[in-house]
Amino acid sequence: MIQPALFLGIDCGTQGTKALILDSQSGTVLGRGAALHSLISDASGRREQDPAQWLQACTTAIRQALQAAGVDGRNVLGIGVCAQQHGLVLLDDQGRVLRPAKLWCDTQSSAENQRLLDWLGGEQGSLERLGLAIAPGYTVSKLLWTQEQHPELFQRIARILLPHDYLNFWLTGRCASEYGDASGSGYFDVRRRDWDRALLAHIDPSGRLEQALPPLLEAHQPVGQILPEIARQLGINPAAQVASGGGDNMLGAIGTGNIQPGIITMSLGSSGTVYAYASQPLVSPEPALASFCSSSGGWLALICTMNLTNATTLVRELLGLDLATFNQRLAQAPIGAEGLCLLPFFNGERVPALPHAQGSLQGMTLDNLTQANLCRAVVEGTTFGLRYGLDLLRSAGLQSRNIRLIGGGSKSPLWRQVVADIMDTPVVCTREAEAAALGAAIQAAWCHGRQEQPDLALQQVCDRCVHLDPGSETRPRAEAVAAYEPVYERYRQHVATL
């Protein structure tokens, strides 16, 4: 009998933290756990979280996963961590968090981002220098905002970390960053695969920010061994190795097997993302298409919309509907919601690039303003944003025979059908819904396996551990594809007016 090889995958997102236990020998997920986060927000665009909440949620989710798996945590060989991208965690010289972390969806620093973009020479200058156009929400403008809004605190900065870097620091006591997550910071050149120190020196000529940068790791390199006191707290093997980890999209790519050309992953989470692996940096003239590094040794062409299940949840709670009733209403409305069009830009928007936009409801009449049409309109409006992004990927030459769909929205058969029809492409889910946490566990297994087998390929681990769910496969319907085209065009026209 083959002994199980247990690995822990952690995904710290905006709404909560998820953890799972993977047996990398059989490719089976043995147990899962989850804990919620709360958001600090206001009308100014502030979107922050207390990192201490992440640690508490991680502890809860890990203990739940171990209990659900029915395994002894002392047999866990490795840990992989992924987290929401672009967040800013600042530490002082004692390793203490200086203030709440500003998140990817924070738009308070939009003006600072524009000033930095102007200094870089606009979007074209940013593309030429960094390989991507910095956008509101990226980490770099948060640094300038902190300098201007909290100058005394700024002087105490000793470490600049991304959310997943901070969790790795909590686990190991070591500050490090990995190329994939680092490439979403806005102060990183995705082609040279290195920090842009001169950009940080422009913000602060003293060199403080450059000195606060963590060293960079390749995806297969470990951060280090778990700290003894944290191992005791979590009930984990004190010899467990913590892998490099990465951003949630990068590890979501691994968890869907998207580590070679020809696969497109679409995530229906708090935000919406569409991404595809590339073996070379794909620097597009279209600034909305970001060419990040992957957490598998290549690059990840990606678009991100800032409003997805956060928008559908807002409408559902406004109408006082549970999830089952929301889906019933969605099914009752026709394609196009009888002319009702919801632009779901409640938090501004990145794709299309409308950081200051607000949500709006277009085409209301005495007859069409119904619960069913409103539920249909928010699902269609958020999905049209992803269609806009998918068109950008396709125009850059990235194609796929199907779309691998992940995230909370992918659990809805109705939403899967809407995606298939709007994209005119078959969609299929992975058997494991928590693809980012799975990708983190797979990366940990790969990192651990390379100690004894230095040429171990990530593909070998993915082949064992990533499984598609044939029962979820949803094919586009020709009549629905045709019906959606004028509806999508109407959405594009409404967006153009903004």
Active site residues: 248
User: What are the distances in angstroms from CA 275 to CA 130, 283, 353?
Assistant: 19, 14, 17
- Count CA atoms closer than 13 A to 293's CA, side-chain side: 28
DSSP state string for 396-417: TT---SSEEEESGGGG-HHHHH
Q: Are residues 18 and 269 in contact, defined by beta-carbon separation less than 8 angstroms?
A: no
DSSP state string for 322-354: -HHHHHHHHHHSPTTGGG-EEE--BTBBTTTTB
Describe the crossing of helices 371-395 and 478-496 by its angle, rounded to 10 degrees: 90
Output DSSP code: residue 131: S
Q: Nearest CA to 408 among 435, 385, 388, 387?
A: 435
CA pair distance 177, 484, nearest whole angstrom: 43
Look-up: residue for tokens 């502890």?
A: 59
What is the chain's percent helix, strand, coil content, to nearest 5? Answer: 40, 20, 35
Q: Are residues 435 and 406 in contact, defined by beta-carbon separation less than 8 angstroms?
A: yes
Q: Look up residue 288 and give its two tokens.
A: 């909305």
